[in-house]
Amino acid sequence: MNSKDILIKVNELYKIFGDGDKNALDLVKNGMGKDELLEKSNCVLGLNNINLNVKRGKIQVVMGLSGSGKSTLIRHLNRLIEPTSGKILFNNKNILNLSPKELIQFRQNNMSMVFQKFALFPHKTVLQNVGYGLAIQNISKDEWSEKAQKWIKRVGLDGYETYYPGQLSGGMQQRVGLARALATDAEILLMDEAFSALDPLIRSEMQNILLDLQSELHKTIIFITHDLDEALKIGDRIAILRDGSMVQDSDPQEIIMNPADEYVSDFIKDINRARVIQARSIMTPTKTKSSGATVKEDMVLEDILQIMSDAPSKPVTIINSKGKITGKIEMVNLIEGMKRPKSLGTNITG
């Protein structure tokens, strides 16, 4: 991995809540778990030795159940929460060394955030909400309202500028939240369960809006969620947290094909494998053309099955985005791929 591509680097980050025991950090570093620590020193272990590299222009998903520390982690990146120990590098500069003034500058220019409960300003109009990040930088009203206007239009809220957040539906409110975060032109977008509070249809719509924007803007996005389908849909990379520790951090396909442990297996057991696993994850590498049809390597198994059902005995040829042949898939591979891995158990009904 080229180190130039990495925009944010989190290094041995620890967070222990509570002011109980001064030795709590040492205890954790020597391997004490969350429950034991709470019992022994009355401290809550928030984050335990987190290492994370976020690539420039990619969507890094951080996943975990509630209480796993994912919201704590994202709040360290803009220092809404201060760590107990560790480093957070942005462009190779440790943001934990920023003075209060520099921190304010950093938040204004480099990072913006979208919140689970929207956290819009109820007393400000949509226009004022979207322009907030610019207005506090002492930019003239004409300038910020013009930019805000542009983003309101971009998220499809034309004509709602003078409305108050309380007059909008949840989905519309989060569009305002998204526009507010985008309006500052920050390079990094922190999204804390941004779509979790929305109902499924609106959530899917918002995910599409985000992907659509991302294909154009190429922001570096850290996206927190507890929903695997959402993670698989938008993540370029997925990190899974459990009790404040990082369990797995890898390519989405890798998580499904090789879950690191029981916890991750649990996460993925209910997904529709045929709809998320891509050809490249199960193909047999080869450079020669096979007898069947030709498909792209990011095609999901469900679609390949559709193609292969016409001629089940003929293996399909897999090509990459540049059109080069990279492998083949036979019917057996397809069945093997859709089957749950052994570690997930053989219980059909479960």
Quick check: 137 binds other proteins (CB under 8 A)?
Answer: yes
Angle at 267 between CA 6 and CA 85, to 5 degrees: 45
> C-beta of 346: minimal distance to other proteins in Å?
45
As a whole number of angstroms, the distance between CA 251 and CA 253 comes to 5
Q: Name the CA radius of gyration of the chain, rounded.
A: 23
Which CB sits closer to other proteins, 144 or 267?
A: 144
Both tokens assigned to 74: 């994202």
User: Which of 188, 190, 234, 329: binder of other proteins (CB under 8 A)?
Assistant: 190
Quick check: 127 binds other proteins (CB under 8 A)?
Answer: no
Q: How many residues bind other proteins (CB under 8 A)?
A: 31
Both tokens assigned to 181: 């975060």
Quick check: 121 binds other proteins (CB under 8 A)?
Answer: yes
Taking alpha carbons only, the member of 274, 279, 275, 273 closest to residue 321 is: 279
Quick check: 105 binds other proteins (CB under 8 A)?
Answer: yes
Q: Which stretch binds other proteins (CB under 8 A): 41-49, 119-127, 227-235, 312-320?
A: 119-127
As a whole number of angstroms, the distance between CA 169 and CA 317 comes to 47
Q: How far apart are the first and last CA of the chain?
A: 39
Residue 126 and residue 160 in contact, taking contact as beta carbons nearer than 8 Å? yes
Quick check: 136 binds other proteins (CB under 8 A)?
Answer: yes
> C-beta of 202: minimal distance to other proteins in Å?
16
Quick check: 211 binds other proteins (CB under 8 A)?
Answer: no
> C-beta of 336: minimal distance to other proteins in Å?
46
As a whole number of angstroms, the distance between CA 182 and CA 174 comes to 12
Quick check: 80 binds other proteins (CB under 8 A)?
Answer: yes
Place of tokens 């004509």: 159
Quick check: 112 binds other proteins (CB under 8 A)?
Answer: yes
Q: Which residues bind other proteins (CB under 8 A)?
A: 78, 80, 103-109, 111-113, 115, 117, 119-123, 132-133, 136-137, 164, 166-169, 180, 184, 190
